[in-house]
Structures are given as structure tokens and as C-alpha cells.
Amino acid sequence: MPELPEVETVRRGLAPVMEGQVIVKAEVNRPDLRWPFPDGMARRLTGARVLALRRRSKYVLADLSTGETLLVHLGMSGRMLISGDPLGKFAHDHPAAQKHDHVVLHMDSGARITFNDPRRFGAMDLMATLDAEHHPLLAALGPEPLSNVFNETHLVTRFGKRNTPVKSALLDQKVVAGLGNIYVCETLYRARINPMHKAGSIATSRLEALVPIIRQVLTEAIEAGGSSLRDFRQADGELGYFQHSFDVYGREGEPCHTAGCPDSVHRIVQSGRSTFYCPTCQR
């Protein structure tokens, strides 16, 4: 499932094509994805101007001139693809409609935004912009890891005496929003922290050092356009490239990247998810 860097990459790709533009026609080709679409979604989107495109955790949020905000979650295989962009950054010709093109937004510039989702685990919803932070999917989220609110004091306080593994604690969206399996594995490797250590047992100095590492990993991933492992594509259809920089994720049995380390990358399962780490370097 796309994590923060992938969603931010999609948002950045969509912004120059959607912000300031009017949705002259919205097509909704099925009643639901993961959940039912809101009533009258096509009608409510048609004629609305996109005032701003932002991201919260793993969600893209489009603030509209109607006072509503469109929430988009890509799910496992969702893609938001652009065609016909008059700025010349994307393919000019609109492709033929595909089986899994569930929502199509026609912009007044001539661009078309298509939400394609073969597995239908994605989601869309409409909510009042002024009340967006109270939406059930957003209300309990922790701070953004690239924001000033996410700092050393916050992480030390939230970890407290937690008896859960540090990897599970970092995946808790109430602690920090947007982190997923890939980037937690990569972060813990760089921080030299064993993913099985109890969150509350890690020294304060090591937790404080973890915060800038989280930011560094996410920033590098965003600059690389995210990670493309299965279905993820950027808004222009291109792959992300950060997977070529993985130190541990998906590298079970391969040599550790730390110079002089004789060990290899190991894989364990934590809470039903694969964890990749080096037992020698991460203590």
C-alpha cells in the first residue's frame, strides 16, 4: 500500500494540473470502492473549482470552491493518472477507457484525471472543508513526520513505557501519521535499532536521534518519486525509484550494506508484516 512518500509524489504531480481548475464534468462509474461513494458525488464535484491540493498522512485532500473537500485514498492498487495536460508534461492524448477506471474528472483546461483501481481497496469521500480534521479517517491521526509538531519530545513522550515493539509503535498512525512498513524498516536500519526492542525501553538519546532519520528517509524517498514495488505509479504514469536505494526492505539473505559487516539481511514477521533488518548492526 502506498505510504507517505508515494502519496506526496502523487499530490505533487496532480497539483499543477488540478489547482485553480474547474471540474467541468465528473464521472462516477460504480457505486463504491472499499466503501460506498457519498451520495451524489458526481453532481457535487461537477462545477467545483479545486482551490488547493494537500496531503494528510496517506490521503490526498482536494479543497473545493463548494466548501467541501474530496478525500482520496489509493488503497493497494489505486492510481490517479493524468492525460491531455496542456502544459505538456504528460501525454497529450486521452487513452481509451479501461475496465477499472472508476472515477474520471474532466478539468476545464482539457486535462483528465482518472482514478483506476483494479482491486478496489481505494476510497473517496466528500466532507465539509471546515470540519475535515474531524473526519473518521483523519481525526485520530498523529502529527505529520515532516512537520515541526513531530519532534524529539513528542516521540519520547508517546513511546513512554510502551511494551510494544518499536516497529509496531512507529506504524501506529496515532503516534506519527503516514509511516508504513517500508520506511519504518529503512529508518530503523539507519538508526541501528533492533525492530523487536520494546519502544519504552529504548534510551531517550536513541529516540531523539530517530526523529531526523525518519525525516531524512522520507525526504529522500519523496525526491526519488516514492517506491514502486507492485502497482504504484506517479501521476504521469512513471515508476518511483527509491526501491533501488533500499538497505534492508525486500533484501532477505543479501549482504548487509554496512561496510565490514559480515551479516546478511534477515526477515521476521511482526503483527502479520515482514520486517527486514540486520541483527549485527541493529542491536
pLDDT at residue 86 in the model: 59
The CATH 3.20.190.10 portion of the chain extends over 4-134
Give residue 76's pLDDT: 84
Answer yes or no: are the C-beta atoms of 187 and 170 closer than 8 Å. Answer: yes
Structure-block grid coordinates of residue 94? 486521452
**Cβ atoms 208, 215 nearer than 8 A:** no
- Over residues 159-163, the mean pLDDT reads 91
Question: pLDDT tens-digit profile of 10-34?
Answer: 999 899 999 999 999 999 999 999 9
Contact 24, 46 (CB under 8 A): yes
Query: For strand 123-128 and strand 68-73, is the pairing parallel, antiparallel, or unpaired?
Result: antiparallel
4-134, superfamily in CATH?
MutM-like, N-terminal (3.20.190.10)
What pLDDT shows up at residue 202? 96
Q: Provide the CB-side half-sphere exposure for 52 (13 A, CA).
A: 6
pLDDT of residue 230 exceeding 70, the answer is no
36 is catalytic: no
Task: Supply the pLDDT for residue 77.
Answer: 85
DSSP symbol at 244:
G
Whether residue 58 lies in the annotated active site: yes
What is the structure's pLDDT at 197? 97
Give me the catalytic one of 54, 144, 273, 279: 273
Question: CB of 185 within 8 A of CB of 276?
Answer: yes
The residue that leads in pLDDT, 245 or 32, is 32
Q: Is 50 helix (H, G, I), strand (E, B) or coil?
A: strand
Q: Edge-to-edge, what's the strand order for the sheet holding 101-107?
A: 23-28, 101-107, 112-116, 79-83
Looking at 58, 158, 167, 233, which residue is catalytic? 58
Residue with cell string 505529520: 144
44-50-55 Cα angle (round to 5): 105
C-alpha gyration radius of the chain:
20
Whether residue 138 has pLDDT greater than 70:
yes
Element (H, E) at 75: none
Confidence of residue 239 (pLDDT cuts 50, 70, 90): very low
d(CA 114, CA 79): 8
The amino acid that residue 150 corresponds to is F
Question: Residues 58-87: what's their mean pLDDT?
Answer: 90
Could you give the residue range(s) of every CATH 1.10.8.50 domain in the chain?
A: 152-277
Fold of 152-277: Helicase, Ruva Protein; domain 3 (1.10.8)
Question: Tens digit of pLDDT for each residue in 207-228?
Answer: 999 999 999 999 999 988 776 4
3-state DSSP assignment of residue 73 = strand
Mean pLDDT of 242-262: 90
Highest mean pLDDT pick, 66-80, 92-106, 229-243 = 66-80
In the annotation, is 223 catalytic? Answer: no
3 labelled catalytic: yes
- 3, 6, 8, 68: the catalytic one is 3
pLDDT higher at 261 or 76: 261
pLDDT of residue 242 exceeding 90, the answer is no
| Cell representation of residue 59 | 490521503
